[in-house]
Chain A
Amino acid sequence: DAKTTQPTSMDCAEGRAANLPCNHSTISGNEYVYWYRQIHSQGPQYIIHGLKNNETNEMASLIITEDRKSSTLILPHATLRDTAVYYCIVVRMNTGFQKLVFGTGTRLLVSP
């Protein structure tokens, strides 16, 4: 599975957009980009995933570059409750169980 590189930490002002980058330069054609987050000591929470098209749901938007070597998770209006560690994970979509390989993620701090 492709490895990912994320900044260790980021800051964002409440109400502003948070843009979290992820580099996955060795991604293969059958690998998806998944984003999860972990708030404090809770279990990770799924946010969004995509293959090559940009995706949007009620939580966030995912922008994947045309060459698929990097992506950006966008929280359009960050709130204090978005303070968490965000994990970018590349997952090969074969049939069967997908092992999630968590790195150390990006610690996002949203401040008032």
Chain B
Amino acid sequence: NAGVTQTPKFQVLKTGQSMTLQCAQDMNHEYMSWYRQDPGMGLRLIHYSVGAGITDQGEVPNGYNVSRSTTEDFPLRLLSAAPSQTSVYFCASSRTMTGVDTEAFFGQGTRLTVV
């Protein structure tokens, strides 16, 4: 059981470049989300999805796009990377039980550096 898989694990980008962080889960979870974690801080929500075709913004959505074409995948796109987006990115998925969210399962993270 792979759980939540994120790729790549590490990435260095130049300012202005674009890239996509991949996230896949094999637990048939409806809910998926992206968080970023900066040094010494807790995780902050970027975007989330409650099902295929449905996405919404979190706390810090600027500079990021998402889409959810399948239940399994939830990619995060950086349109034009900036040094302020240097961070560790975590993808999470969670199951629902009669429509109520339960515990979240997190991937191992993508460490992104923008120079």
B interface residues, Cβ below 8 angstroms from A: 4, 31, 33, 35, 40-45, 48, 50, 56, 58-59, 88, 90, 92, 94, 99-101, 103-109, 111
Contacts and interface: CB of A to CB of B under 8 A. Distances in A.
Main secondary structure of the interface of A (DSSP, over half): loop
15 contacts: A36-B104, A41-B88, A41-B109, A42-B109, A43-B90, A43-B109, A44-B43, A44-B92, A44-B106, A49-B103, A97-B101, A99-B58, A99-B59, A102-B44, A104-B41
Contact of B105 (A46, A99, A101, A104): A46
A99 B45 contact: yes
Main secondary structure of the interface of B (DSSP, over half): strand
Given A43-B109, A104-B42, A96 B50 contact: yes
B104 A100 contact: yes
A10 to B, nearest CB: 17
Contacts of A93: 100-101
B42 A105 contact: yes
Interface residues of A, number: 24
A12 to B, nearest CB: 22
A49 B101 CA distance: 12
B93 to A, nearest CB: 11
B105 A96 contact: no
Interface string A87-109: 10001011111111111110000
